Amino acid sequence: MTRRVVITGIGLVSPLATGTAKTWEGLIAGRSGIGPITRFDAKDHDTRIAGEVRDFLPEQWIEKKDIRRLDPFMQYGIAAGKMAMEDSGLQVTDANAERIGCLVGSGIGGLTTLEETYQKVLDKGPSRVSPFFIPQMIINLAPGQISIKLGVKGPNWSPVSACATGAHAVGEAMRTIQRGDAEAVVAGGTEAPITSLGVAGFNAAKAMCSTHNDAPTKASRPFDRERNGFVMAEGAGLLMLEELEHAKARGARIYAELVGYAANADAYHITQPAPEGEGAARCMRLALQDARVRPEEVGYINAHGTSTPYNDANETRAIKAVFGEHASKLAVSSIKSMIGHQLGAAGSTEAGVCALALHHGVLPPTINYENSDPECDLDYVPNQAREARAEVVVSNSFGFGGTNAVLVLRRF
């Protein structure tokens, strides 16, 4: 019999707030966390806006002596991991530490550290490179650091799959528990890409929003006819996944059950989705099969919804291909309209929001949906949250390289 997996803890660090409750409150209120870039002087960049985490105080989560040794993406991950652990109520002991894992990825990793260190080499020479440079930069030190802070000794590694990273981490953590390799896993993604080099790189790839600098809160507009690119964001989304009987035995509060996961590839293009969303459609079908869920049972889809011309139209086509006539009855929304695109943290943040939507019976909106697009003609929960008791929800994540990940959650 397959071991069932549930979500018992959620930790979110987002442009709306540091903290799960405050982030959820902002999403349901339809607030935007997008604003002018303050991390560096962006005046020479085409894009001068982003979703920065503005209220994060690392000393609330990390000892002062350690802060300067940790890249921001690690700091966000540690904070979110501690939140998820505390929210779950799970106590780590000598008896259970080896049965609790940590799977946390990032799309880019320590970009801030890389950029600052390279400048130091140019200005002062290689002898001034910190011995903490490599441990600050490499992605698997995020779960490494989190495991040290939490004392968990189970499986520990990092998936790296661009914008699908967080969803892959959650899905692979689910598989880890199903196989019996752990009873609980802290899983998700963390990202801090808002640097001069990061913004310049995405601009060069023609992937970022570049024409709404004067109206940052309106810049991310998934499925809207006037969308012209995604808005980069930072933060972390970590979930505590737990084997059902293990959670019940300790009286844990359960947000939702994670019932399906699939991963596949477009094998088409490094940045553009396959025509008609063919790869995304296959991935959704595989995830529904894994969950043993019929398409008509799904009530809500948390879309990848990046606010790019390519993604939003093709994702809409993929949803229609998978759900047929039921697609017109589905609620579909993108929280990237409010918090931007957290890259490697997006999929796990969105999975956490799906669990909250099931738990509270409220669907987050797609804000800035003002101009209908004939290519995007589904119900995108426009501009206002909606009370709705969905039984099954789907969370889509698609990344550069044509990598796709889909998660299916059920009300518990």
Catalytic residues: 163, 304, 341
User: How far apart, in Å, do the first and last CA atoms of the chain sit?
Assistant: 19
Query: 88 Cβ partners below 8 Å, 6+ apart?
Result: 8, 9, 184, 240, 242, 252
Q: What angle do the packed helices 309-323 and 278-291 form, to 10 degrees? A: 40
Torsion of CA 248, 410, 237, 267, to 10 degrees: 130
Instruction: For tokens 């044509």, name the residue.
Output: 402
State the greatest distance between any 2 C-alpha atoms of the chain, in Å, as a whole number: 64
* Cβ–Cβ under 8 Å, residues 268 and 279: yes
* Cβ–Cβ under 8 Å, residues 294 and 324: no
State whether residue 51 is helix, strand or coil: strand
Handedness of CA 97, 103, 104, 105 (dihedral sign): positive
What DSSP line would sit under 277-308, residue for residue? GHHHHHHHHHHHHHHT--GGGEEEEE----S-
Query: 408 Cβ partners below 8 Å, 6+ apart?
Result: 258, 259, 260, 261, 287, 288, 290, 291, 293, 298, 392, 393, 394, 395
